């Protein structure tokens, strides 16, 4: 289960399919609140929001990213799941089918690496960078642009 670190309150562009007008940023302002507070919405964010501007107030929970497993652990799990799958589907030919699958994807089953690992590692690094930035600026309103 993920551990909630706090909440991010933002004034951001409300339509994900369009861009804000006149080169305005997607996020106007944000504040990270590490602990629950009695007030539902930080007043700083409410003051930044203008009804009818196309921007809305969003709330997002900030959670600690999951711990990445080692390639050896991934390989062991993948081999175990492959064996279970093949023994259920082809009980008499399971060993031959397992050998074929491992020969077809040795990196995936023996080294514990896959094509998606690099993208996942980059995504987790970006999340950790965001967490570090927000926790360093906890309870501080960060304004990117003000709408008149």
Is residue 27 within 8 A of residue 14, CB to CB? The reply is no
* Per-residue pLDDT tens over the stretch 104-137: 998 888 887 777 778 888 888 898 898 899 889 9
* Per-residue pLDDT tens over the stretch 41-59: 888 899 888 888 899 999 9
Q: How far apart are CA 143 and CA 110, in angstroms?
A: 49
pLDDT computed for residue 117 by the predictor: 79
Averaged over 1-11, what is the pLDDT?
Answer: 83
Q: How far apart are CA 45 and CA 143, in angstroms?
A: 10
Asked whether the predicted pLDDT for residue 101 surpasses 90, the reply is yes
Averaged over 58-82, what is the pLDDT?
Answer: 88
Is residue 116 within 8 A of residue 124, CB to CB? The reply is no
Q: Give the residue from 11, 122, 128, 117 showing the smallest Cα distance to 63.
A: 128
Q: Give the residue from 124, 144, 2 showing the smallest Cα distance to 63.
A: 2
pLDDT computed for residue 98 by the predictor: 94
> Would the CA dihedral through 36, 38, 41, 43 be positive or negative?
negative
Which residue ranges make up each domain of the chain? 4-64+136-143, 71-114
Asked whether the predicted pLDDT for residue 1 surpasses 60, the reply is no
Asked whether the predicted pLDDT for residue 14 surpasses 80, the reply is yes
């Amino acid at each position: 289960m993920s551990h909630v670190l706090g909440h991010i309150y933002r004034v951001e562009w409300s339509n994900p399919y369009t861009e804000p007008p006149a080169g305005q940023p997607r996020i106007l302002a944000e504040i990270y609140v590490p602990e629950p507070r009695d007030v539902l919405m930080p007043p700083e964010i409410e003051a930044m929001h203008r009804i009818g501007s196309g921007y809305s107030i969003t709330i997002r929970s900030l959670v600690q990213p999951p711990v990445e497993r080692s390639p050896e652990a991934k390989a062991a799990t993948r081999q175990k799941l492959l064996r279970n799958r093949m023994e259920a589907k082809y009980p008499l030919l399971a060993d031959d089918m397992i050998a074929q699958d491992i020969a077809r994807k040795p990196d995936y089953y023996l080294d514990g690496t896959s094509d998606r690992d690099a993208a996942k590692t980059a995504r987790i690094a970006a999340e950790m960078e965001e967490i570090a930035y927000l926790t360093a600026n906890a309870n501080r309103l960060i304004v990117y642009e003000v709408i008149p």
